């Protein structure tokens, strides 16, 4: 580049000398000088552009820049209802770093497809133009201070305008009960649009003091991801391509869970944060015939042992790689349900822990680098038993059902350890291949007693971490 610039300057110098020798008056010389200044400015600009290309920023390829831009946009309007949104100015200023970035940013349609309906109308229209024909994701957050009377008509009009390419819509509202009707009417009007290409729908409401809002009809025939909080869907409808469902703060019946799985074969993730209703579904269960399903992730909040038994009796899970259950225990026989044993039988890692109140006990199994099964046993406050006695029951059960064991990693975090004989039985039966042991407890006496009863325990142990 330097050689090209020097050659250009030499050529311009020769031309200047020739023109100066031909100048006959002051006016002509002034005009010549002005032209030379313009030429010099162009050369300086070209040199600056060439230098910028050699800087670290200038060397960044377009593909990498677009990845950075898209990452910034994802942080602005996050479709996860548990994340807050950042300011629009945090990312739009980035594309104005230089002319090249600005041109690249304006040409990339995806950057302008994330739109908040509470923005000024001029900003929304500008984004719609810059997004071209790219699929849109719209977001709407309503509260008591930002819900004028005409708002529902305005928002619905924008949704209708964007309907042909609306891929995702997220609505979150926290309003007074007096104007809840208007928000719920907007939600009904939106659902009634039957948006043809909507793939992701997020609706969250807080707080819930008057029961959940109910969606009465199919949201979209193309729906793939459904995220609801304090809002109850109509589960009588099936979606051919539904892959993920997240429902929080609404308890479903066991038959609802089974219907969701049976009617949506493409479902791969199901999360029910509030768990299942405590009701007798035995008569309803008779209408369900056992069926197979390829769901990979199942997370269910508080449910009963009989719910676990019924679900795993009805459904043959073919590809379950992540399982998280919170099981209520209302009797003295605290144990791991037999229906779950096939999933944890060949686990190589086990973590045992408890909460500070001794009311919930956590068992986390890992049978594959990408397969984890987390079981939380929630004890009824009416059961007056020590945490130690519960762990004794669990360890005894594991010792009887895990023979032989593939455990290589064991982590234990509990206030008090079970009896030494129980420990010895568990270690001898389940931990013959154990290589890594972490023990976090206030008293290691029972563990040391177990080791002294049998010097052959833990023959393959490589690391031991003891912490009070």
Cα dihedral across residues 15, 20, 24, 28: positive or negative? positive
Distances in whole angstroms, Cα of residue 56 to Cα of each of 52, 104, 108, 141: 8, 17, 22, 39
Q: How many CB atoms lie within 10 A of CB 408?
A: 17
Domain boundary assignment for the chain:
2-54, 329-468
415-466 pLDDT, tens digit per residue, is 888 887 888 888 888 888 999 999 998 888 888 877 777 777 888 999 989 8
- Taking the model in full, what pTM does it have? 0.81
pLDDT in tens, the chain (468 residues): 556 656 666 666 666 666 656 655 656 666 666 776 776 677 666 666 665 566 666 678 888 888 888 777 765 444 444 444 445 555 677 888 877 888 888 998 988 998 988 888 998 999 999 999 999 999 888 876 555 667 788 889 999 999 999 999 998 887 665 567 777 888 888 888 888 999 999 988 876 666 777 787 788 889 999 999 988 887 777 777 899 999 999 999 998 999 899 989 999 999 999 999 887 656 555 666 889 999 999 999 999 888 999 999 999 999 999 999 999 876 656 678 888 888 888 889 999 998 877 778 899 999 887 889 999 988 766 555 677 788 888 888 888 877 667 889 999 998 888 887 888 888 888 888 999 999 998 888 888 877 777 777 888 999 989 876
Q: How far apart are CA 451 and CA 286, in angstroms?
A: 51
């Amino acid at each position: 580049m330097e050689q090209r610039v020097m050659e250009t300057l030499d050529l311009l110098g020769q031309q200047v000398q020739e023109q100066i020798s031909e100048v006959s008056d002051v006016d002509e010389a002034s005009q010549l000088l002005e032209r030379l200044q313009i030429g010099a400015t162009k050369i300086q600009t070209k040199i600056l552009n060439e230098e910028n290309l050699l800087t670290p920023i200038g060397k960044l390829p377009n593909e990498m820049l677009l990845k950075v831009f898209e990452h910034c946009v994802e942080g602005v309007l996050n479709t996860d209802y548990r994340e807050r949104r950042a300011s629009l100015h945090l990312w739009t200023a980035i594309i104005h770093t230089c002319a090249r970035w600005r041109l690249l940013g304006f040409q990339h349609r995806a950057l302008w497809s994330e739109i908040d309906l509470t923005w000024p109308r001029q900003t929304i229209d500008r984004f719609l133009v810059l997004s071209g024909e790219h699929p849109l994701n719209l977001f709407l957050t309503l509260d008591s201070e930002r819900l004028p009377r005409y708002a529902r008509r305005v928002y619905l009009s924008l949704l209708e305008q964007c309907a042909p390419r609306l891929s995702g819509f997220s609505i979150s509202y926290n309003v007074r009960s007096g104007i809840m009707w208007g928000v719920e009417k907007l939600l009904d009007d939106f659902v009634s649009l039957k948006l043809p290409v909507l793939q992701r729908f997020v609706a969250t409401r807080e707080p819930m003091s008057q029961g959940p809002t109910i969606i009465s009809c199919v949201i979209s025939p193309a729906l793939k991801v459904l995220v609801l909080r304090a809002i109850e869907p109509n589960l009588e409808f099936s979606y051919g391509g539904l892959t993920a469902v997240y429902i929080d703060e609404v308890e479903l019946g066991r038959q609802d869970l089974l219907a969701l799985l049976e009617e949506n074969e493409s479902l791969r993730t199901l999360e029910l944060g509030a768990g299942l209703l405590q009701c007798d579904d035995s008569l309803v269960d008779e209408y369900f015939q056992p069926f197979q399903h390829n769901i990979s992730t199942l997370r269910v909040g508080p449910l009963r042992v009989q719910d676990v038994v019924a679900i795993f009796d009805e459904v043959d899970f073919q590809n379950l790689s992540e399982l998280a259950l919170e099981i209520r225990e209302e009797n003295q026989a605290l144990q791991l349900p037999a229906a779950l044993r096939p999933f944890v039988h060949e686990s190589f890692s086990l973590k045992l822990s408890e909460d500070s109140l001794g009311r919930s006990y956590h068992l986390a199994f890992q049978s594959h680098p990408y397969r984890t099964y987390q079981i939380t046993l929630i004890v009824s406050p009416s059961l007056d038993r020590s945490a130690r006695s519960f762990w004794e029951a669990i360890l005894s059960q594991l010792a009887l059902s895990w023979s032989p064991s593939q455990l290589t990693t064991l982590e234990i975090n509990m206030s008090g350890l079970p009896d030494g004989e129980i420990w010895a039985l568990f270690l001898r039966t389940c931990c013959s291949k154990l290589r890594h042991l972490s023990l976090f407890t206030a008293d290691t006496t029972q563990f040391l007693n177990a080791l002294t009863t049998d010097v052959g325990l833990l023959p393959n142990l490589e690391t031991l971490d003891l912490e009070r």
